[in-house]
A and B are shown apart, each in its own frame.
Chain A
Amino acid sequence: MGVRISWKNSTPVTLLIHRSVPEKFDQDIISAGQRWNSALGRSILTVRRDNSLENSPGKDGLNIIYWQTSWEGSTKEQARTSTSVDISKIIDADIKINAQNFAYSLTAAGAIPSQINLESLMVHEMGHVIGLTHFEEDGVMQPQLPASKLRLYPSNYEQTEVACEY
């Protein structure tokens, strides 16, 4: 793993919650961004809802979180973060959540069997937004998030990797 691409000095990055995302998840998604800010000791991600967005996923200069009830990718894929890159600088990012094949739970609801904790998933995807790849050892960047598992805190290694780049 490691940060190979990053936003360089263009932080904090603003992530917008698309109207397709159920509003009940807003607090957990915002909290996911704050977990990276806490880990770094400064603001690197700002997350807020914008119901006026007419956009669809793609390179449009806006970083948007989409809720996809129709998922054309692998049924095992919980979410997908795409980033547009100019040399090694990230210039655009989108997160798509697979809402067709998975059910999601709120952190406040505790562990619910067969449901994915959305905040944990968002901490992971936001790790991709800031440039992290997957990491097999303990931490939020492990490739698969099992149902009902809480994985909210970036490991020391993950924090160091991000801190090196930012």
Chain B
Amino acid sequence: MNTKTMKLLVFSLTSIAVLGWIGWSVYQKSELQSRQIAEAKSKSGLNLTDKQAEKWTVVEKFNLRQNNEGLQIEIPHALDLCQDQESIHFVFKAYEIAFAGNNPRITYSLSCQTIESNMFNLLSFKDFTAVNDKNSIRTNGGYLRSSQIYTDEAFPESWLLSEIQIVGLNGFIINEYEIQKVFGQNFEFKIH
């Protein structure tokens, strides 16, 4: 191997290392900025009833991401869903504390009348933590209301998506165990 080849080899290896490091940094930064909480599994091979299959379809298209500002709720089929339904509700549950035996809950409600496009809504933590027993909040095309969130108690840290409620003529509720079935885990997140 002559000197010229040697230099070329060293240059190539250095370039690969630098590019790799830059790529890894960018990847890590994007992971920090927006964390996809769970990914849907395949329903093939499962023996589902028609209703279960319908629920599965709703859930698998749905996605929830977390970044520093809040929760990115994605319903790429919101318009389809709203054709014969009245409203969509996301119920979040604080799972590490209970008052009077019930976990605190925050519900994010969206009326189908106001949904004009497929949804990629950001639910800010600022709004999320502002709702309590004394007020509900209008936010981002919908409103937030709570149960068992008290102004004189610390705001709960650990949350999960507990239910998706589709309200309408043939409405249905998807509970956390059904969500867990599709994604293999809960949509959990922390608020500090």
Please state if B96 and A81 are interface contacts (CB–CB under 8 Å): no
Are A81 and B133 CB-contacts (below 8 A) given A72-B151, A73-B150, A73-B152? no
**Which of A7-15, A29-37, A101-109, A131-139 lines the interface with chain B?**
A131-139
Interface size on A, residues (CB 8 A): 21
Please state if B102 and A133 are interface contacts (CB–CB under 8 Å): yes
Minimum CB–CB distance for A71 against chain B, Å = 8
The one of B96, B100, B153 that contacts A85, using a Cβ cutoff of 8 Å:
B96
- Interface membership of A128, Cβ < 8 A: yes
Please state if A82 and B99 are interface contacts (CB–CB under 8 Å): yes
Please state if A85 and B97 are interface contacts (CB–CB under 8 Å): yes
Bound-state CA distance A133–B163 (Å) is 19
Q: Kindly count the residue-residue contacts between A and B in the assembled complex, taking CB atoms under 8 Å apart.
A: 45
Minimum CB–CB distance for B149 against chain A, Å = 11
- Interface membership of B45, Cβ < 8 A: no
Interface residues on B, range: 10 to 19
Minimum CB–CB distance for B145 against chain A, Å = 16
Please state if B150 and A81 are interface contacts (CB–CB under 8 Å): no
Give the nearest-CB partner of B150 in chain A: A73
Interface of B is mostly: loop
Please state if B102 and A82 are interface contacts (CB–CB under 8 Å): no
Bound-state CA distance A73–B99 (Å) is 13
Give the nearest-CB partner of A141 in chain B: B101
- Interface membership of B95, Cβ < 8 A: yes
Interface hits, B78-106 → A, CB 8 Å: 95-103
**Chain B residues positioned under 8 Å from A133 (CB to CB):** 100-102
13 more CB-based (< 8 A) A-B contacts, given A81-B101, A90-B98: A3-B101, A72-B152, A73-B133, A82-B97, A82-B99, A83-B99, A83-B101, A85-B95, A128-B101, A133-B100, A133-B102, A134-B100, A134-B101
